[in-house]
Amino acid sequence: MGYLMTASDYLIIGSGIAGLSLALKISDNYAVTIVTKDRLPESNSAYAQGGIASVWSPDDSFTSHIQDTLVAGAGLCHPDVVETMVREGPDRIRELIALGTNFSRRSEGEETEYDLGLEGGHSYRRILHAADATGQEIIRALIAAVQQRPNVTILEKHVGIDLLVTGHAARRECWGAYVLDQETNTVKTLAARVTVLCTGGAGMVYLYTSNPDVATGDGIAMAYRAGVPIANMEFFQFHPTCLFHPQAKSFLISEALRGEGAILKRPDGQPFMSQYDPRAELAPRDVVARAIDTEMKQNGFSHVLLDIRRREADYLRRRFPAISQRCLEFGIDLTTDPIPVVPAAHYLCGGVVVDLHGATSIPRLYAAGEVAMTGLHGANRLASNSLLEAVVFAQRVFLHAQALLKGDTSGCPTFPTWNPSHAVRSNERVVVTHTWEEIRRLMWDYVGVLRTDRRLASARRGIALIQKEIRDYYWKFLVTTDLLELRNLATVAELIIRCASQRKESRGSHATADYPDTDDTEWRRDTVVGATVRDCPIRR
Ligand SMILES: Cc1cc2nc3c(=O)[nH]c(=O)nc-3n(C[C@H](O)[C@H](O)[C@H](O)COP(=O)(O)OP(=O)(O)OC[C@H]3O[C@@H](n4cnc5c(N)ncnc54)[C@H](O)[C@@H]3O)c2cc1C
């Protein structure tokens, strides 16, 4: 291993919608480094299908979007955060449009207007989308813009390992991160006056997930190791409908299909959703995911069916081109066949605790996007609110950090270079692969859609043993991306189990058979782990 130390004003870890939109706001007077662990476009953002929610039509209102978000959040949303996001949303959408994002339009006589989609939990059509590949289009526009910026250095195939933190207690400050360059296998010390975690979610902690491989919760684990409070990790939202096919890796069938009339059916063709909720297919996603999980577990089905054959074939091909095409690749024509689907881990509502400016409990360290727990989603995310949250909080981080850096003459302190000690290159890669699968299976079986105390206790014991093994391995061998991700996944698993074990009730996306009711007297609060609540910037 060799060593390198470089400094910038901003270090942004992650190149999804949060990281890229933040980078674009920073003026050319400041040096920005973006590190991203795969190629630039690879992120959850790029896979977003349904769209981005915002009050856009004159029939809609902020009050309605706020209300829908609060209802989905099941009593745990922080109302000030919800109001801020909803009110600032339209301006952020206008910025995306100004950057060249092409949202889908529909013709209204001579005029064309943005085509607003409807999704479960929304009272109005307010989802701006680019057909059914919204994330890909937004990321395309953001990357094109970021690549024009002379002050932004992009380091692909670079993995953030740990944060550089100085001082103790209230005097701590974050000054960048150790980063592994996967191509040269060197660990670099990337110092920065402001560090922003934009590392996204952690779907890979579960066996079935809609998330791409990069979603291993690295930012949450890094912040946790640095002593930042982490909250609400029990609220992992399961997407009700991922394509069920042996060769289809994590392909999501958008909720917009249910918004456009698709019906969920048992394999024998019987619809079932109205037996679970009066809103049937338009019930919030956790209700739908649990209904499907119950149908599968009670009846031994390997999957259920999503049937949209009632809509016209031409319309379906136009409205859902990517989904139609992908299904066809697996021999399923959605205009003539029902689609086999299963639930899968999709979105993490919890994460690194931040305040209304995206600031963590450690000065100079921020978090934005799915990695952060802003208080917006509460116990459950309203569909298509996450892309909006990421752009709104990227702006808020920018404003706060800009004020911090104005007149700040501090230079970055010097940090010791990464010390591999006596570590050697591993010839036991199988241990990493095996343990990785063990964690994902354990989390799926014991900490999945429906939980029990007994299963959580088993999971906790299992993860503790796995973590011990990982610790031994970590210090013996030189770090690789797989090993770093494995360590982070185990930490995220531990945090989910700890939060889920604390919450003795069912609420939003956390459901336990032992406490099926919601307990507002005891549990209308966040589950904070990893630091004392005194250190936590959000207190309610
Ligand atoms: C299939 C799918 C469909 C979705 N559909 C919608 C939708 O329609 N509407 C909606 O609002 N939301 C949707 N979501 C959720 C939404 O896409 C995400 O919440 C959002 O994109 C998160 O953006 P982000 O910038 O926080 O993180 P991401 O887009 O996930 O980006 C994280 C970045 O961090 C990088 N990274 C991670 N760890 C490290 C590390 N250690 N070092 C360096 N880089 C690192 C990753 O490589 C990636 O570049 C969907 C998600 C999925 C998976």
Q: Which residues contact 52 (CB under 8 A, 6 or more apart)?
A: 93, 96, 127, 128, 129, 134, 138, 384, 387, 388, 391
**pLDDT digits over 399-457, tens only?**
999 999 998 888 888 888 887 777 778 777 788 889 999 999 899 889 999 899 999 99
Distance CA 385, CA 51 (A): 9
Reduced to 3 states, what is the DSSP secondary structure of residue 175? Answer: strand
Nearest CA to ligand 1 atom 9: 384
Is pLDDT of 533 > 70? no
Give me the residues paired with residue 196 across strands: 12, 366
Ligand 1 centre to CA of 261 (Å) is: 27
CB within 6 Å of ligand 1 — which residues?
13-19, 35-38, 42-45, 47-52, 134-135, 159-160, 198-201, 210-211, 214-215, 218, 252, 347, 369-371, 384-387, 390
Ligand 1 centre to CA of 201 (Å) is: 6
For position 445, what pLDDT does the model report?
85
Using 50, 70 and 90 to split pLDDT, how confident is the model at 539?
very low
- Nearest one of 368, 354, 385, 378 to 93, comparing CA atoms: 385
Nearest CA to ligand 1 atom 26: 369
Region of 238 please: left (phi>0), alpha (psi -120 to 50) or beta: beta
**pLDDT digits over 62-120, tens only?**
999 999 999 999 999 999 999 999 999 999 999 999 999 999 998 766 677 999 998 88
Structure-block tokens of residue 79: 């109302």
User: What does DSSP assign to residue 73?
Assistant: T
Q: Where do we find the tokens 């952060």?
A: 372
Phi, psi of 292 (to 5 degrees): -65, -45
Distance CA 294, CA 20 (A): 39
Sign of CA dihedral 17, 12, 526, 494: positive
- Nearest one of 330, 336, 332 to 313, comparing CA atoms: 336
Atom of ligand 1 nearest to the CA of 251: 1
Structure-block tokens of residue 244: 């069920």
**pLDDT digits over 332-355, tens only?**
999 999 999 989 999 999 999 999
Is pLDDT of 384 > 90? yes
Ligand 1 centre to CA of 495 (Å) is: 20
Reduced to 3 states, what is the DSSP secondary structure of residue 514? Answer: coil
Average pLDDT of the chain to the nearest whole number: 92
Atom of ligand 1 nearest to the CA of 370: 26
Using 50, 70 and 90 to split pLDDT, how confident is the model at 5?
low
- Give the CA angle between residues 260, 261, 267 to the nearest 5°: 130
The DSSP string of 288-342 is: HHHHHHHHHHHHT-S-EEEE-TTS-HHHHHHH-HHHHHHHHHTT--TTTSPEEEE
Is pLDDT of 169 > 50? yes
Q: How far is CA 264 from CA 20, 255, 338, in A?
A: 37, 12, 9
Atom of ligand 1 nearest to the CA of 50: 8
In this structure, which amino acid lies at residue 506? S
Ligand 1 centre to CA of 16 (Å) is: 6
Distance CA 468, CA 236 (A): 25
- Tell me which range, 99-108, 120-129, 139-148, is most confidently predicted by mean pLDDT: 139-148
Nearest CA to ligand 1 atom 53: 211
Exposure of 530 by Cβ count < 10 A (0-12 exposed, 13-18 middle, 19+ buried)?
A: buried
Ligand 1 centre to CA of 47 (Å) is: 8
Active site members: 285
**Alpha helices by DSSP H, 56-105:** 62-72, 79-98
Reduced to 3 states, what is the DSSP secondary structure of residue 220? Answer: helix
Atom of ligand 1 nearest to the CA of 255: 8
